[in-house]
Amino acid sequence: MAIFKGSGVAIVTPMNEDETVNYEKLNELIDEQIAGGTDAIVICGTTGESACLTVEEHLATIRECVEYVNHRVPVVAGTGSNCTRDAVAMSKQAEEFGVDGLLCVTPYYNKATQKGLVQHYTAISEAVHTPIIMYNVPSRTGCNIQPETAAYLAKNTKNVRALKAASGNLSQIARTIALAGDDLDVYSGNDDQIVPIMALGGLGVISVLSNVAPAQTHAICQNMLDGDVKVAAKLQLQAVDLIDSLFCEVNPIPVKTALNLMGRDVGPLRAPMCGMEEKNLERLKKSLENYGLL
């Protein structure tokens, strides 16, 4: 059974001005997302500045999210690490909090061979019972889960259930789906590829766009799930300019800036994330205006 179908928001982590986590604001954002039709909350992923959170903050934010969502929608927690032991420990703790899924990125910086990836995800799988979503984003990690590896893990572990596919390579994603079949659920990890990936059999998206446009992102997915590809494609194309602007600098710089421009007051970014270049800021403002969000 899938962890979720449709639009999962890779939610930002709001900060107070002193850069502590703003849990009150996080709860407000969660309510807005659920009201907008978002199908799952993905907490402490890349967009949530997980790399800049302490372990204590990371776990506290997951716990707060699970408690506040209170089963209204599934909660998926980012618990990946470039150290297998740390990924196991974080995943076990998140499981104790009651998350519905674990999002585990490929090991970054030290990377891994395909054999190493099998060992990494197998170790996490053996330590927990919660469904695991592998997160493949080679542009950020320097590590790429090959289709054969993804299919092997889906077929030979008890709970590696899904893949967040953010390679940008539709041919690779198609081959992964062909090899894994019903043993692996696939979610788009790129907002500009929701429709093509769902057309290949994907179940939805883990989305940055949903932070600023939850109803629209949900509508793209829901129309695909309902078989209305024409409407979904139209909505996808309408969002392309905004999606491009949300990635004109390193995520989550633009999306957190966008939320502040929209009056959501999600606070500052943590270093080494920094303010946007002026030309990119103006581009983002224009895209938000054109999309009707400013």
What whole-number distance in Å separates Cα of residue 267 and Cα of residue 263? Answer: 10
CATH of domain 6-227: 3.20.20.70
- CA atoms 184, 81, 98, 158: torsion sign: positive
Decide if 157 contacts 122 (C-beta within 8 A).
Answer: yes
67, 74, 227, 238, 241 from 289: Cα distances, Å:
35, 31, 30, 13, 11
The rounded distance, in Å, linking the Cα atoms of 280 and 12 is: 20
Q: How far apart are CA 224 and CA 230, in angstroms?
A: 9
Q: How far apart are CA 43 and CA 102, in angstroms?
A: 10
Q: Quote the pLDDT of residue 1.
A: 87
Q: Which helix (H) or strand (E) covers residue 290, if one does?
A: helix 278-290
Q: What is the pLDDT along the chain (294 residues), one digit of tens a residue?
A: 899 999 999 999 999 999 999 999 999 999 999 999 999 999 999 999 999 999 999 999 999 999 999 999 999 999 999 999 999 999 999 999 999 999 999 999 999 999 999 999 999 999 999 999 999 999 999 999 999 999 999 999 999 999 999 999 999 999 999 999 999 999 999 999 999 999 999 999 999 999 999 999 999 999 999 999 999 999 999 999 999 999 999 999 999 999 999 999 999 999 999 999 999 999 999 999 999 999
- The pair of structure tokens assigned to 294 is 């400013």
The pLDDT value recorded for residue 106 is 98
Q: How far are the Cα atoms of 8, 29, 149, 288 from residue 211, in angstroms, in the given order?
A: 10, 8, 31, 12
3-class SS of residue 236: helix
User: What pTM does this model have?
Assistant: 0.97
Place of tokens 């993804």: 150
Point out the residues that are catalytic. 135, 164
Whole-Å CA distances, 222 to 198, 203, 216, 228, 279: 10, 10, 10, 9, 35
Report which residue type is found at 284: L
